[in-house]
Structure 1
């Protein structure tokens, strides 16, 4: 039965890397029994230029009706002065909220061939395999009230609200516990319970859930600032980390650089069982290199692999795609963002090399 993947290439390098992932899809459709139809819609700055809004309601409806959604990236300096509620990033938050994809899975995996590409010593990152579970539709990015107000005397005040409920915490923590149970049985919950009431509630609710439903999982707690330090000091101490929207955004990007490049890391945003997932490389739109054909397509390709596993029912093909990327790196292929290797290639040539090994 044909399944549907909605493509939202977005801005900057988004269309470039998404186009290479489409080549992977076409190969799997033709030769590996994947029955996947793709549709494309405007998103982010590209949608603002064409329609005046970062995402149209019709596009949200298509995303909700698809089996999965694959994004590129959004944003760029040409939209930096746009009002907050119509910026490209506002469209991304609106899409996440509408799809209710509350659990953002961000793996920080060091491919063996890239053990020397990190800025940290090989012994610190070789074999690194961390899974971040970031709460994605709550917290300070979605809290209300928010805004910028005039406080008189020519001065202003900017404010945002950090807020979490028991239900919001428990549902994402459960995802973290389940993943930890399927891996090494260790879950670290990260917050700032020492200075934030929302963090204290987070710690209390995660502790309660662990004691009642997951006594077999070793649960630890860590303040977010300490976690940032530990990721640089001894990252392999972690297996699964569950945290809120803001800290998850920051910490997972920091961990991404441990692996050599943001251009290698995918992500999956999942909601309730049976609902479509939202998949995207965690790198940005990189407007400084857009159009030059040098962006790394691997994070987009690997995001599609996560979609194959979690939304499209083809974990066998996910393993093939991931294996092809690993083999490409082992063969020495590197885009500009990656150190080492023996063959420096651009965006399309990197995808060529993955296709050869698929």
Structure 2
């Protein structure tokens, strides 16, 4: 029986996670859950540690983890989020961030041309290197002479394995995105790994775009893309853009994955949204679609497909939260999806 760790987290995290768990429970599958509801900002403020070694050991023993959100305005700086999110990514080596973007309903697209609205692509983002490794520092901080340095890190191992994963994930085409015309050293490594990997996949259409051109192309015709693979920071930005083209961050799901071990950290992309926490207005779709990704990975692809169909039905019937044009609260929107599922 697969064991799933659940980390509801902060802000709206517990609210949307509750709806995802209710849906998973209703499917009657052979899943068990280990809920770590103490991994949150309250614990960090009280003890200085949000994710203990024991917590990490429990997560390691599971087959995957479902995360609500991490972030609290009471906590200054980035240490808390890094101690939870980056510790999980680095210690579990969750090097591939997989973010699908599929338009749930035509009315949700911000694009004028109906022939180019139907985005259905995946952003594969390298998840453990790049600019987010916290390598750098500051000289004379707080003064008018301050010098701040953040170092972008790319390794042959990190780049080649995420490109390999992207190629394995594609059905028709992969586009590699970089800025090698302006970032020559990392760009050279990405280009070489890309050429080496694509030589072994003549069955796929492969292409390369600079990141600024890729952003423009996503806006002008998102239907042109199947899978995009890129580094940590570019993937962060492009995947948020793709999410907006698919209906907004409230609908966006993701998994931080180690394809070799099969372990994944599944989470909605929207963050903790403390301004609406406790108001029953958060959109649960991102969490529910993250649960669908989890189902797929633990051996229940038919149920995952059924969940996605139920989400689309509820959205089409405008049985959803206000950000998608509906009038339902978080709980009622979750109930509407479960009703469509059954």
Please, what TM-score do these two structures have when normalized by structure 2?
0.94
SS state of the match for residue 60, structure 2? helix
Q: Which residue of 1 aligns with 2:283?
A: 296
SS state of the match for residue 216, structure 2? helix
Q: CA deviation at 1:225?
A: 1.3
Q: Distance in 2 between matches of 1:151 and 1:52?
A: 25
Residue 157 (1) aligns with residue 143 (2): no
Q: Contact 1:192 / 1:200 at 8 angstroms: preserved in 2?
A: no
- Count matched residues: 339
Q: Which residue of 2 aligns with 1:100?
A: 93
Q: Distance in 2 between matches of 1:46 and 1:199?
A: 41
Q: CA deviation at 1:229?
A: 1.4
Q: Which residue of 2 aligns with 1:349?
A: 332
Q: CA deviation at 1:224?
A: 0.9
Aligned pair partner of 1:51 in 42, 47, 50: 47
Aligned pair partner of 1:207 in 195, 200, 209: 195
Q: Contact 1:124 / 1:235 at 8 angstroms: preserved in 2?
A: no
Aligned pair partner of 2:242 in 236, 255, 276: 255
Q: Which residue of 2 aligns with 1:78?
A: 74
Q: Contact 1:117 / 1:338 at 8 angstroms: preserved in 2?
A: yes
**Deviation by residue 1:291-333 (Cα, 9 ceiling, x = unmatched):** 10010101101101100101x1111211121121111112221
Moved more, 242-251 or 38-47: 38-47
Q: Which residue of 1 aligns with 2:300?
A: 314
Gaps of 5+ in 2: none
Residue 236 (1) aligns with residue 223 (2): yes
SS state of the match for residue 116, structure 1? helix
SS state of the match for residue 155, structure 1? coil
Q: Which residue of 2 aligns with 1:21?
A: 20
Q: Which residue of 2 aligns with 1:67?
A: 63
The alpha-carbon distance between structure 1 residues 289 and 124, as it changes in their structure 2 partners (threshold 3 A), is: farther
Q: Distance in 2 between matches of 1:153 and 1:260?
A: 43
Q: CA deviation at 1:91?
A: 1.8
Q: Distance in 2 between matches of 1:130 and 1:14?
A: 26
Q: Contact 1:115 / 1:122 at 8 angstroms: preserved in 2?
A: no
Q: CA deviation at 1:44?
A: 4.3
Give every structure 1 segment of 4 or more consecutive aligned residues whose post-TM-superposition deviation is greater than 6 Å: none
**Deviation by residue 1:187-222 (Cα, 9 ceiling, x = unmatched):** 1000110111112211221112111x2122221111
SS state of the match for residue 281, structure 2? coil
Q: Contact 1:279 / 1:306 at 8 angstroms: preserved in 2?
A: yes
How much is the aligned-residue C-alpha RMSD, in angstroms? 1.7
The alpha-carbon distance between structure 1 residues 62 and 190, as it changes in their structure 2 partners (threshold 3 A), is: same
